[in-house]
Structure 1
Amino acid sequence: MVDHRELFEGVTMVLARAGFDTAPGPSRLRIGHRPEGVVVDWSPDGLPPEGVRAAVLGAVAAVLRESGHRVAEADGGGLLVTVAEVVTVPAEPPTEAEAAPEHWWG
């Protein structure tokens, strides 16, 4: 099995900073390893109602994407997180014309 230790630690850190309970124990949010990357899902013990599960996983996906990770639906449910995308930041801020493109309203 491929070891995604750095990715696992990065995902755990990002979610903990966002306020998710990532500590082992009573938390029902589970972060685990897969050959393709890291999976985030619920513990099989006591699954919440589908609406709650969808809302929490949606928030997890948003937080991870904002931090540059690639997130997709995992086989069997949950989220599959793969390597972080490289985010390039321009050396200089855009000019006013580049920052606000012209819009045509019809």
Structure 2
Amino acid sequence: MSKPKIYVFSNVVGGGDGPCYAMAEDGTVVGSHYCSNEQWAIHDLGVTSDWHHEEYRAHYPDGYEMEFVPVANRDAHASLKAALELNARQAAAEAGAS
């Protein structure tokens, strides 16, 4: 049985200085970090380190897989796009509820 994914990606065109995110496949942002470039996100958001995993385990207590998505591939990555769409729906629902 496959485990749910957490996608780590930069939100900066060109992958430079700026916010990077860890997003669960259900669209929930489970981690973020301001990185000097997208390569630091791999470590800072826990793909190759133990950083942020307590938050990830809280969201997916039965386990998860990490996947780094380079900013150059972000818009073409179908699974990340689906997570981003779910995130947008969550934000719209929250905005409508307030």
Return the TM-score normalized by structure 2: 0.28
Q: Who wins on radius of gyration, i.e. which is larger?
A: 1
Larger relative contact order (Cα-Cα within 8 Å, sequence gap ≥ 6): 2
Structure holding more helix per residue: 2
